[in-house]
Amino acid sequence: MGAAYFYHLTESPLDVTLPMLLGKAQQVGWRVVVRGRNEGMIDWLDQLLWLGAEDGFLPHGKQGTGFDAEQPILLTTLGDIPNGASCIMSVGGAEVSSDEITNSDRVCILFDGNDPDAVQHARGQWKAITGAGCAAQYWAQDMGSWVKKAESNPD
């Protein structure tokens, strides 16, 4: 059974945090789906990952552009997982289901801590996910380090 990890982005923005998390997922051998809410965000993420992170290039592709099943990191707005990913990363408020959490190794929900609407949406996701009996952790930055601030485990 997987767990949802909420990342409250206040000190490091999405364009820094997402590549870091994707690199860690690659290190443990996970395939990843990065799910956004709109094509504009997916296009922006595609450009970000093509330019490369500080730690190096992150191989990826956008869903529907061919070879979806082979992509180690698949960028999408859709709810399916054609690359067999064991890790889902939700950005921009994209939804994840309790079934996806249960059937994944990890679900990461990244949200902008400087956007009150994003924070409110993440709170709603936390309530829905923990209410469905899924394990969840809430992480926030404290002077540059990620610190676990809350945890909910199913009974």
Provide the CATH number for the domain around residue 107: 3.40.50.10110
Count of the separate structural domains present in the chain = 1
- With bands split at pLDDT 50, 70 and 90, how would you rate the model's confidence at 144? confident
The radius of gyration of the chain from alpha carbons, rounded to an integer in Å, stands at 15
pLDDT digits (tens, 9 = 90+) for 52-94: 655 567 899 999 988 999 999 999 999 999 999 999 999 999 9
Q: What percent of the chain has pLDDT over 70?
A: 95
- C-alpha 130/C-alpha 151 separation (Å) is 10
pTM: 0.94
Which pLDDT value is given to residue 54?
59
Rounded CA gap, 134 and 120, in Å? Answer: 19
Q: What is the pLDDT of residue 95?
A: 95
Q: Which domain holds residue 22?
A: 3-152
State which amino acid sits at residue 76. T
